[in-house]
Amino acid sequence: MGMEHLSIDPLTELRRRRSAKWRTFPEDVLPLPVAEMDFPLAEPVAKVLREAIDRSDTGYAAPTPDLAEAVRNYAWRSWRWGIGDGCIRTVADVGIGIVEVLRRIVGAGDRVVISPPVYEPFSWWVREVGAHVVEAPLAEGPGGWRLDLDALERAFSAGATAYLLCNPHNPMGLVHGRDDLKALADLADKYGVHVLSDEIHAPLVLPGAEFVPFLSVSDEARRRGFAFLSASKGWNLAGLKAAAVITADPAPKRYVDRLPPHSLYRTGHLGVLATVAAFNDSGPWLADVMDTLDHNRRLLDDLLTELLPAVRYRMPQAGFLAWLDFRALGWGDDPSAHILDAARVALNAGHRYGTSGNGWARLNFGCSPQTLTEAITRIAAAS
Ligand SMILES: Cc1ncc(COP(=O)(O)O)c(C=O)c1O
């Protein structure tokens, strides 16, 4: 294993991709925003997709247990997390899974808690079902970011129906510790709050951190919790549309059982095929990706220290996203606007992750070390 095995296409090739990352900005912009990776597909995934295309096999997803079995086996192999029979439901993507579950547990005007800075669509999903967003921001201490359990208790005790947990937490790649997850589950149980745990980045937890599935921490977590998992971030399959909703107790499972029967047919057939190949057969590829991401998160640290020492950065514990504090540079609430304009590098605007993100930006380092170096060099030249 090692980076030499992951040969990343040059920019001229990548620019031929038709996905959002490559179609949103003009040619002279280096795109490091939307959460797609620049790596080549895992060969087992590419193979099942090629074979399906060769068979003109592009109809509906079949009602088979394949995806559930792949998820169950992967969760056991990776985290010793045992998921029960019949406890995995297929949906088109994590966003749809969360919205469909929320529809069944919240009424109009109910309050749903999130912890900014967090993945922007969390607040969209809450509003989509007619509920109100309540913020219990993460706390940043000398040791890093954490759930603020006091803020969560205040929000829960004031009357909340659900909490959207992001584990690992996008945008800073925070992997929540077992004690915090247990304490969260206790609070949720005490105040009758449902916890929807978005675990989409879990396959990308990097060396030094341990992923703890929310439903594995306690009976309280299982009583209150739903988990959402897919291969779309780990294996870059977001366009193919397949994800899983997981429960571990009859009470939350009853809500999932009420999802529309059509949710299976709304799931992408190619997505199911690719997800099964990813979870079952693409471990060596993922290990190479992790080597590259581990290298890139350190390279980013070195580049910032050397070229942009005023930018504050904590190395993420998971994923390919870095949360950067540009406030010392005086580029205003949205440094990404200045960076796009002056450096021709696209990042995500931090203020979109909640007001605590003013002055910050999110950078996607799921790219080659050369692209990352070029991006930071360009931003430094614009400072
Ligand atoms: C935390 C988190 N949840 C969900 C998604 C989107 O997942 P999906 O396309 O399956 O809705 C992303 C994408 O970046 C994400 O970072």
* pLDDT tens digit sequence for 23-39: 999 999 999 999 999 99
Span 66-281: which CATH code? Answer: 3.40.640.10
**238 alpha carbon – ligand 1 mean position (Å):** 8
The CATH number of 3-41+283-381 is: 3.90.1150.10
**Closest ligand 1 atom, residue 243 Cα:** 10
3-state secondary structure of 179: helix
Ligand 1 centre from 310 Cα, in Å? 30
Q: Are 178 and 145 in contact (CB under 8 A)?
A: no
Bridge partners of 166, per DSSP, are 198
Q: For position 1, what pLDDT does the model report?
A: 43
Q: Is the pLDDT of residue 352 over 80?
A: yes
Residue 5 C-alpha from the chain's centroid: 25
Q: Is the pLDDT of residue 143 over 90?
A: no
User: In a mutational test of the pocket of ligand 1, which residue from 126, 232, 245, 353 has the highest number of ligand atoms less than 8 Å from its CB?
Assistant: 232
Q: Does residue 139 carry a pLDDT above 90?
A: yes
> Which residue from 120, 124, 125, 198 has its CB within 8 A of the most atoms of ligand 1, so it is best to mutate?
198
Per-domain boundaries in the chain:
3-41+283-381, 66-281
pLDDT digits (tens, 9 = 90+) for 77-129: 999 999 999 999 999 999 999 999 999 999 999 999 999 999 999 999 999 99
- Ligand 1 pocket residue status of 83, Cβ below 6 Å: no
What's the pLDDT at 264? 82
pLDDT of residue 35: 92
199 in ligand 1 pocket by Cβ < 6 Å? no
Ligand 1 neighbour 119 (Cβ under 6 A):
yes
Q: Note whether 360 and 291 are within 8 A (CB).
A: no
- Span from the CA of 341 to the centroid of ligand 1 (angstroms): 27
- C-alpha–C-alpha distance, residues 162 and 105, integer Å: 8
| Cβ pair 20, 36 in contact under 8 A | yes
Q: Could you tell me if the CB of 218 is within 6 A of ligand 1?
A: no
Ligand 1 atom with the shortest distance to the CA of 169: 1
Query: What's the distance, CA 15 to chain centroid?
Result: 24
Going from the Cα of 200 to the center of ligand 1, the distance in angstroms, rounded, reads: 6
Give which of 308, 301, 381, 311 is closest to 350, Cα–Cα: 311
Q: Report the share of the chain in percent with pLDDT over 90.
A: 95
The pLDDT of residue 5: 65
CA of 35 to the centre of ligand 1 (A): 8
Binding site membership of 243 for ligand 1 (Cβ less than 6 Å): yes
> Which mutation among 124, 199, 233, 267 tests ligand 1's pocket best, with the greatest number of atoms within 8 A of CB?
233
Q: Rounded to whole angstroms, how far apart are CA atoms 362 and 347?
A: 6
CA distance 342 to 339: 5
Q: In the predicted model, what is the mean pLDDT of residues 314-326?
A: 98
Q: For position 262, what pLDDT does the model report?
A: 86
Query: What are the φ/ψ torsions at residue 235 (nearest 5 degrees)?
Result: -115, 10
